[in-house]
Amino acid sequence: MTRIGCHGFVFSGRFDERGIANAIEGVQRAGFDFIEMPLMDPFSFDERAAARILADHDIEMTGSLGLSAATDLSSENAAVVRRGEELLTRAIDVVAAVGGTDLCGVIYSALQKYFAPATAQGRRNSAEALSRLGDYARSAGVQLSLEIVNRYETNVCNTAREGLAFLDEVGNDNVHLHLDTYHMNIEESGMFEPVLDGGDRLRYVHIGESHRGYLGSGSVDFDSLFRALHRIGYDGPIVFESFSSAVVDEQLTRSLGIWRNLWTDSDDLAAHANRFIRDGIRAVETIELH
């Protein structure tokens, strides 16, 4: 059964105990099954408080992050790669500590604009580190998924097919594909082919509008996405992701270029997204009857 979740940044820009509680309460109010917790700084994350608040609200948690230049697994600098591996090891521990099963995001390179292609050595460093991390995650009961993002946010892979080729280089079946409609809308031929190409290697899906605002108010072809997910029998997590300068983390605001306000009411935005996603999935389920 597909679980529907919501990214923590819809409700909070800070993730101290108060921020964690605000985010989890908001996600529950909107009707979601779980929260995707941003773990940009997993060393400062209070997993005990999070586990308690999650249990109190009967909400599950996944984790996600984008690496920085200082922790870039695709760097040619061994010390930088090692710091990235340490950060991701800690993020896996956080997810496992709250009973979560998934860590995803841009965990194979820095989440930033690059001004040159990834180097062969950099790709190899990232693939080898992810293979080790995939084993570590498996022993913790966590699956890793690599989020494919657009050309302005990574230089390692920008399409599902490039992501699958990179996963072949990683060569660890506990490391999967993560697609995001916001990025697909920029780089892919459409919503259908990437999902079909991903098949059973597709483990995680982000739902975002073309401008990262209200679902249905932009140009993403959600009808095709839901049909494609149904066609491959997708039953993994689906997460609503939206960013506004109304609720921000300064670091992410800069790396993602969130310069304007597309919404101000987190509760209204999230409740709408929860209905939109569940309605989309329900509609394509009935195709079985045709």
Interface residues with Mn ion (CB under 5 A) are 180, 206, 241
Catalytic residue numbers, as ranges:
147, 241
Q: Could you tell me the smallest distance in angstroms from the CB atom of residue 33 to Mn ion?
A: 18
DSSP calls for the chain: ---EEEEGGGT-S--SHHHHHHHHHHHHHHT-SEEEEE-SSGGG--HHHHHHHHHHHT-EEEEEEEE-GGG-TT-S-HHHHHHHHHHHHHHHHHHHHTT--EEEEEEEEESS--SSPPPHHHHHHHHHHHHHHHHHHHHTT-EEEEEP--TTT-SS--SHHHHHHHHHHH--TTEEEEEEHHHHHHHSS-SHHHHHHHGGGEEEEEE--TTSSSTTSSS--HHHHHHHHHHTT--S-EEE---BTTB--HHHHHHHT--S-S-S-HHHHHHHHHHHHHHHHHHHHGGGG-
Q: Could you tell me the smallest distance in angstroms from the CB atom of residue 207 to Mn ion?
A: 9
* Choice between 186 and 196, CB closer to Mn ion: 186
Q: Could you tell me the smallest distance in angstroms from the CB atom of residue 3 to Mn ion?
A: 17
Q: Could you tell me the smallest distance in angstroms from the CB atom of residue 147 to Mn ion?
A: 6
* Choice between 131 and 150, CB closer to Mn ion: 150
* Choice between 81 and 88, CB closer to Mn ion: 88
* Choice between 102 and 180, CB closer to Mn ion: 180
